[in-house]
Amino acid sequence: GGGWLYLAVWLDRCSRKIVGWDVRDTMPEDLVSEALRRALVVRRPPAGLVVHSDQGSQYTATRFKALVAKHGAQQSMSRRGNCYDNAHAESFWSRFKAELLDGGSFPGLTEAKLEISHHIAYYNAKRRHSALGYRSLNHFETHLQTTSQLCSA
């Protein structure tokens, strides 16, 4: 323990759900790629998905761009130094760190992965979000899918 850990998270912009994540004790280029790959495998979005990030080197890497292109997605990046372009993510990180860490730290990577996994499950399934009518993210997403199916029928 005692060192830094790096967490990459992908959020669904509409439902605000955490749809892919990875955590490591180093910040390799493929940390964000692996988190995105997990999200793509689970969600299987149609072509045209917009993948938004800041301009960090992980997001401008050739392998990351290739992953985005392979899945028919479009890459979008915040303007340099403009936190408002990615306000949903900035807001998420502020709350997530406060709720998960509460001023503490993890003994090591194994414990961090377990705690993060539990917190993500709670965050998606139980935590209520004021912007979503105080519904959980899973409940809100199910509501959207049901409404969408009714509208298209």
pLDDT digits (tens, 9 = 90+) for 106-125: 889 999 999 999 999 999 99
Q: How confident is the model at residue 152 (pLDDT cuts 50, 70, 90)?
A: very low
Give, to the nearest 10 degrees, the angle between helix 87-101 and helix 109-125: 120
Structural domains in the chain, CATH included, are: 6-152 (3.30.420.10)
137 close to 30: Cβ distance less than 8 angstroms: no
Predicted pLDDT at 1? 55
**pLDDT above 60 (res 153):** no
- In DSSP terms, which residues pair with 50 in a beta bridge? 74
Region for 138 from its dihedrals, namely left if φ exceeds 0, alpha if ψ lies in -120 to 50, beta otherwise: alpha
Predicted pLDDT at 2? 66
- Characterize the bridge pairing of strands 128-129 and 135-136: antiparallel
Q: How confident is the model at residue 131 (pLDDT cuts 50, 70, 90)?
A: confident
73 close to 52: Cβ distance less than 8 angstroms: no
pLDDT digits (tens, 9 = 90+) for 3-17: 889 999 999 988 899
126 Cβ contact list (under 8 Å, min separation 6):
136
The CB-based long-range contact list for 103-110 (8 Å cut-off, 24+ gap) reads 105/1, 105/2, 106/1, 106/5, 107/1, 108/1, 109/5, 109/23, 109/24, 109/25
